[in-house]
Amino acid sequence: MSDITRSSLPEHVAIIMDGNGRWAKQRGLPRIMGHRRGVEAVRTTVRAAGECGLKYLTLFAFSSENWRRPESEVSDLLGLLKAFIRRDLADLHKENVRVRIIGDREGLKEDIRNLLLEAEQMTRDNTALTLIIAFNYGSRDEIARAAASLARDVAEGKLDASSITPDAITARLDTNGIPDPDLIIRTSGEERLSNFLLWQAAYSEFIFIPDYWPDFSRDTFFVAIDQYMARDRRFGGLSGQVALAGV
Instruction: Enumerate binding residues for ligand FPP (CB under 6 A).
Output: 17-22, 35, 38-39, 42, 59, 61, 66, 77, 80-81, 84, 133, 213
Cα separation of 86 and 80, whole Å? 10
Minimum CB distance to ligand FPP, residue 21 (Å) = 2
* Closer residue to ligand FPP, CB minimum distance, 17 or 197: 17
Q: What is the DSSP annotation of 124-155?
A: TT--S-EEEEEEEE-HHHHHHHHHHHHHHHHH
Write down the least CB distance from residue 119 to ligand FPP, Å.
11
Least gap, CB of 245 to ligand FPP (angstroms): 33
Strand 183-186 vs strand 130-137: parallel, antiparallel, or unpaired? unpaired
Cβ proximity to ligand FPP, 30 vs 154, nearer residue? 30
Nearer to ligand FPP, 189 or 236 (CB): 189
Least distance from ligand FPP to the Cβ atom of residue 65, Å: 9
Amino acid at 132: I
Q: Which residue is nearest to ligand FPP (CB)?
A: 21
Residue 29 and residue 153: Cα distance in Å, rounded? 51
**Rounded least distance, CB 28 to ligand FPP, Å:** 14
Question: Does residue 232 have an active-site annotation?
Answer: no
* CB distance 233 to 50 below 8 Å: no
Query: Based on CB atoms, which residue is closest to ligand FPP, 17 or 184?
Result: 17
Identify the burial level of 232 via C-beta atoms within 10 angstroms of its C-beta, where 0-12 means exposed, 13-18 middle and 19 or more buried: exposed
- The single-letter code of the amino acid at 123 is T
Q: Which of 3, 18, 76, 136 is catalytic?
A: 18
End-to-end Cα distance, the chain: 30
Of 20, 66, 88, 141, the catalytic one is 66
Task: Give the three-state DSSP class for 100.
Answer: strand
Q: Which of 93, 103, 92 is nearest to 46 (CA)?
A: 92
The reply to whether 18 belongs to the active site is yes
Q: Which is nearer to ligand FPP, 10 or 19 (CB)?
A: 19
Would you mind telling me the total number of residues written for the chain in this entry? Answer: 247
Cβ-based neighbours of 65, under 8 Å, separated by 6 or more:
138, 194, 195
Catalytic residues: 18, 66
